[in-house]
Each structure stands twice: as structure tokens, then as C-alpha cells.
Amino acid sequence: MPGQHYDMPMTSVYAQRRARLAAQLGDGGVAIIPTAPELHRNRDTEYLYRHDSYFYYLTGFSEPNACLVLTSDGKSVLFCQPKDLEREVWTGYRLGPEAAKTKLGMAQAFSSDEINSRLPRLLENRERVWFPFATHKGLAEQVEGWLGQVRARSRFGVLCPTQQGDACALLDEMRLLKDEHEQDIMRRAAQISAQAHVRAMQRSARMIRNGEEVREYHLDAELLHEFRQHGSQYVAYGSIVAAGANACVLHYQADKAPVRAGELVLIDAGCELDGYASDITRTFPADGKFSGAQRALYELVLASQEAAIAVTRAGKRFNDPHEATVAVLAQGMLDLGLLERTKYGTAEDVIESRAYFQFYMHRTGHWLGMDVHDCGSYVEPSELGVVSERKDPISGETIANRPSRILRPGMVTTIEPGIYVRPAPGVPEQFHNIGIRIEDDAIVTETGCELITRGVPVKPDEIEALMRD
């Protein structure tokens, strides 16, 4: 698991982050950041444990039953599992409080069994307590209980915090900009995931050429093999392996449907490496050869992605890639006959009426980082007060528009246009049940963006060549 091997250069990365957060807590501020709980899968077994992202971002520590307390003067206190040689025989090595102080660079460390007795003392004479709102079930009630113990000592001259703040608001802004350490991990995660997609593409074509039965789970197995083969600890999310019409289901999960020659396969999958996610989608012909209709739709989606990539750079807005995508898709839907010109008019009319939504119903990107849908506001903080209203032409709902985020170097976003054609009146039959999405991960730079997932090709000729290999 990530975080079980500690060295001083890595420890300094987390210490620097804690110092940055401490500086934002205000005079007399204190932050409480717990990790994720263990969860039962069934009667007596747990899900594979995965730490809380906020906690790991500040500590690099991946054990369960832990909590970080950070004060505005930069003092870090860790509560963690105590050493227990008998339990370690069953559940594995524990760092323990004594080692945690030096290995993790903490001022103090205590057993997690002591948190209810010690934490109220850490809150005494503080002005504001910060913790992640609406993130950990029961945490708000715990904080109230600890504050109650502080109030009970008021007759001894103890002051109780009178303000509470959402630690997510501070940490989201920090996590939105990835430093070089984070970018390097994400590049390596992207490389592993790209090779996994290559394996899946090649196995699909190879099995079909050999006359073997291919199922979605065969291709999912290739993904998982490659992830673990190269040291990834987890999948970043449940892999989507969707054959044929299943590709028109946006969050379809890898299952047992047959993969047939002549159909497309959409795979949306990425590994998590050392706490950071990758996220790649590729769509390819199961047997390695696009049909005419498949290629026409694929080239449209690829052109829309290229338009989005061209406007992904520092100084642009987060919404700009989406708008560039929609402009290309709207024109292409008219050109290919998915939308009738006599009914829907020009591409501008299609965008205004959102008629394209029938075939493209999601955004073109999202933040990527420790979580596959990473934290960070999509609204520009300096322009929160700039609000305009519009009426959605489909739902009729009034929507408040605020200026979208200005892109800055170090932000990481996905670029993932798609098109999904379900059978419907007026839709040309040759396009029925075709679902296509192309997704890459992009690090924003001053002059453009660095696509870190192009270890797996996107051009149709290159995909066909790869699958012949």
C-alpha cells in the first residue's frame, strides 16, 4: 500500500503541505482531518482499504483508524493505531505512534484509543475549529462532543472555539494545483493505464482472429493484470468495458456480454498509483477494423477532442474545451444526418436549443488527481459575485451562471468528448447502438497542455495497425 515506506524527502513534501494549510487556519485555528474508516463487504470481511485523500495529502500515511490534528502555529499531532504484535500477525504491520513522530515528521503522536481524551485538550483556547464538512459520517457529532468537553472546563478559565470552518474549502484549492511530485506520479499512472488499454485492444482482436469467444470480462482481466503488474495499488474507479450497444450506457460496468466482430468496444479505465488516479477512455473495433459508419462517428468525436485540446491552456476557462467540443459535434451531427437540418437549423441553432444533448449528454472534462473526479471549484473564486441567469431549453429550469474557472499551470483535467446513438425515429440506422468516447488526461501548461495518456493511440488508422500487430 502507498505510504508504508517513508523517507525524509517524501516526508518533507507532506510537511510543506501541512505548513501551507496551517498558515490558512487563522490565529487560534485548529484543523481535524481524519482518514477513511474500514468498511465491511459482507459478514466478516472488509473491502480493500483505501485511505481518505485529504488525510493522505497531508500525511502520506495509509493506515486506517488515524486522524491528524494541525494547529495554526504548525504543530502536527497524529492519532494512529498502536503497535500490537498479536494483531499485526493477522492484519499486517503497524507504524505505531513512536515511529510515526520521526517517520512522518509529527510533533506528537498518540494511540487512536486516546483521541477522545486528548483531542478536547487540543481544542482548548482555540478560536476556530476546521474539519471536512459533509465528508465523514458522524464527524460533526464527534466534534460537537469534543467541544462539549471543552465547555465543561470553562469554570477553569478554558475558552472554547466559537467558530467552525470547512477544511475542504482550504484543501480543495491546495489540491487543485499539482506540484512536480504529483505530476510525476500521475504521468506514471497514465503510462501504466495506457499500456493496459493496449493489451485489451490487442487481446480482443487476437481472440476474434483465433475464433475464440470473447466476453467483456476477458478484456477487463487484461486491464487488471497490467495495473497490478506495474505496481498500481487499485483501480481508480470501476472499469467500464462496454461492447456494442452497452457503450451507450455511460456508467456501464465491465460484465459478461459477448464482444462480437463488427461491433465497437468502449473501455473507460484507469489505475491508481501511490494515491493518484488516471482516467483513459478508448473506443475500438472489436476485430480491429472500423466500418464506414463507425469511422465517420469516431472521426467526428476525435475532431471535437482536438478542438478541445487546442483551447486547454493557462488563461483559458474550464468551460472553453466543452464549448469547443460542442461546436464541432453540433456541426458534425448535422453533416452526418443525425440531426435534420430542416428541423434543427444551423449548428448555432443546435447549440442554442441543446438538440445535441440527445447524443452528447455529459461535460467534456473534470478535475483529476487523488480522486478520479478530483476536488476543486469549477467556478472562478474571484468572480463568484458575477451571476447571470438562463433558462434551460430542455428542462425549462432557470440556471444561475457564474464564470468558470480560469485554467492555471498545474491543474489537471480530462478531455473526454463522446457520442452515443440509441435507436430513435429519424436517426439513420447505420449509426444505431454506436457509443464512442475518447478521453485523455491533460496537465495544463502556460502554452497548452501536456497529454499524459497518449501511450495508447487515438487515430483510427493507428488503432487498426496496433490491433493487427
Catalytic residue among 251, 389, 397, 429: 251
| DSSP assigned state of 246 | G
Cell numbers found for residue 291: 466500418
Catalytic residue among 268, 371, 441, 464: 268
Residue 193 contacts residue 368 (beta carbons within 8 Å): no
Catalytic residue among 18, 188, 282, 437: 437
Cα radius of gyration rounded to whole Å, the chain:
25
Whether 230 sits among the annotated catalytic residues: the reply is no
How far apart are the C-alpha atoms of 83 and 31, rounded to whole Å? 25
Catalytic residue among 153, 215, 362, 432: 362
Catalytic residue among 54, 420, 441, 464: 420
Catalytic residue among 18, 126, 197, 366: 366
Catalytic residue among 7, 27, 44, 397: 44
Catalytic residue among 63, 182, 272, 279: 279
Whether 268 sits among the annotated catalytic residues: the reply is yes
Whether 439 sits among the annotated catalytic residues: the reply is yes
DSSP-assigned beta bridge partners for residue 128: 29, 163
Whether 184 sits among the annotated catalytic residues: the reply is no
Catalytic residue among 439, 440, 441, 464: 439
Provide the 10 A C-beta neighbour count for residue 12: 11
Compute the C-alpha angle 87/93/96, nearest 5°: 90
Whether 251 sits among the annotated catalytic residues: the reply is yes
Whether 274 sits among the annotated catalytic residues: the reply is no
- Percentage helix, strand, coil for the chain under 3-state DSSP, each rounded to 5: 40, 20, 40
| DSSP assigned state of 382 | G
Residue 252 contacts residue 246 (beta carbons within 8 Å): yes
Find all residues with CB under 8 Å of 27, minimum gap 6, and list them: 72, 127
Greatest Cα pair distance, the chain, in angstroms, is 82
Catalytic residue among 341, 373, 454, 468: 373
Whether 181 sits among the annotated catalytic residues: the reply is no
Q: Is 274 left (phi over 0), alpha (psi -120 to 50) or beta?
A: left
Catalytic residue among 182, 226, 274, 416: 416
- The residues annotated as belonging to the active site are 44, 251, 268, 279, 362, 366, 373, 416, 420, 437, 439
